[in-house]
Amino acid sequence: MTSPITTLTDATFDEVIGAAEKPILVDFWAEWCGPCKMIAPILEEFSREQDKFTIGKLDVDVNVATATKFSVMSIPTLLLFKDGEVVARLVGAKPKGALLQEITANL
């Protein structure tokens, strides 16, 4: 059931999102962001424990265009894409159970 986390860039974002066969949760993060580091292990667990959605990560410091396109003002911001469209926006670090509940409510 392991699905690796995909590293996204400005150059690959639209292609990966458009080709996704199931919903994809994109983590907009930065290396210096403490809360981003707090949820990273949770996202790793999700990628190993479930197969309802996949996970991608986009470093906002390196990929400014995509972060700007989706109005990401605070990080971590998690956007859930389904059929290429944003169906949920989660901002800030949350416990694993709360994150999973919000994600699955939008699948």
| Catalytically annotated residues | 33, 36
Q: Residue 97 pairs with which residues in a beta bridge?
A: none
